[in-house]
Chains A and B, each alone.
Chain A
Amino acid sequence: MEQENHKIKAVSLLRSRICDPKFIFISESPESNYSKLKFMISSSVTEACNNSILLLGPRGSGKNAVLELVIQDLLQEYPDSVSVIRLNGLLHSDDISAFKEIARQLCMEHQLLFSKAASFDDNSQFMVAILKECGLAHKTVIFVLDEFHLFAQGKQRLLYSLLDAMQSITSQAVVLGISCRLDADQLLEKRVRSRFSHRKLLFLPPSIEDSQKLLMHILTLPIDSSFPHAYAVEFNRKVQNIIEDRRFKETLNKYLNVDSSVKHLLRFLFCAVSHMDLQTGFLSRENFEIAFTSIQRQPKLECLRNCSILELQILVCMKRLEVKEQSLCNFNSVMKEYISTLTSERYARHVCLRAFEHLIHRELICFTDNRGQSLSVEFRPVKLLISSAELHQGLRANTSCPPKLLKLMDREG
């Protein structure tokens, strides 16, 4: 019983680490983005100056996670001097709702009564007045604008008001924009761009060596009293062997060559840890191979695997028509090709039409016109949405595919 207990505890520990940004992103190196960002915001809080910073990087690179860690640390160090206002470009993309949300969060932060009936002018003047009061009280307001490029649409009144208020000597604020667009500062209007200090923090995906170090950091168990000593040592030795395995390195490189962001790597680790064998209590290379296979999905190939023989025949006929430089075809031309190609065991026309409609519903083929239901299905132009290679793999993966059809496809390819 105790044996099962510490194995389950090991899986829980590894999973919680994968989901914990504090374990992944905190690094005391002064070159890390965590240290740089903390220094910038701490300087603004202690020296009572205004600042605006842009965090740029692809999705999944840890921008929001690092910022939340920095804000938590600042709220612990300066509990009375820092208040945080959070906005999201997906939720508050128009100026009226953004100012209303700012007023609501400011009221909640300072125990004031929020009025839903307040107008745009009231909310914007309220924000300027609160910033003035906070400046006099030496309190810093941190504005977090997630999806910053979505605030840069329209007339950008919110950005102008925020950055213009930061120019006055009384207010004390930091505006942090988070965006995945590298040209986020180019989207700004010229007077907003002039008021924005061009401080950018670039979040780049980690290199292969850093990813492997992170892997080791996450997957090793602590050798202390929480786990049996022999089990922890054996577990870490096996993890070390897996990471140094050549085939594992090939799989990891293949996985990270497509997307090397941190979130992508964590998803891979979560799948692998979830498949850990609870009988032996150890990770194995097969867990990572299964995770790689389950993530590397091809939904169109899976769709092809479940097709009937008639549907496969129709797809092959459409591919033959495509090879004959007919990029567009309709049901009638497909039927003509079907009749001329398959000389025996043909289905009736209405059965073929039903199979044709199934393919449209699966979105393996689609209509090319946008005119809706003006024509009958038989006469509307359709287009094949899978490539020759995909169709080839699908035919070979289908267990009930007749060999004659495969030969027909080979002859065309």
Chain B
Amino acid sequence: MSSAAIETVFGSLDNYTKGSVEIISGQASHYAFSNIFEVADKSLPYEKVVVGFNLGYVVESIRAEGQSPWYTAAHDEFAIVMDGEVRVDFLKLDAPLKAGEGTHLAGEIPAGTPMGYVLLKRGHQCLLPVGTAYRFEASRPGVILQQTIKGPLSVEKWADICFK
């Protein structure tokens, strides 16, 4: 038996290999196939590019680079760091967002109490709790996967990112 070590292959901005759609019948576009590292590689910092859409719910691929604005939402959201290292700072908002869906800007300096911060590496998942504002910070480019609802900051550009 080979003694080669087990290697679990993860992707990164610098190293990903996109798969393929071989069509027998129908259209490749119906599978809306993209690669989150390729999307983040071609995005502006903290551009929230929708890579998955299901009746209002979204999955976004976000390029983490430098400091993001403060964000908030009227519901829980989740972030998974897929590449790099990301610090997330949290504020307990004095006046939390009560209605609406998706991620909203929380303003330049939101009124609230600092709750602390979380340091995330690749594969780490973080709750972005309702009632808080949060801000991402990355000293080198990374990739965040965000689970949320389509909001005013969500960017859809399917024709640019998907197999056709």
Q: Do A and B bind each other?
A: no
B residues bordering A, Cβ < 8 Å? Answer: none
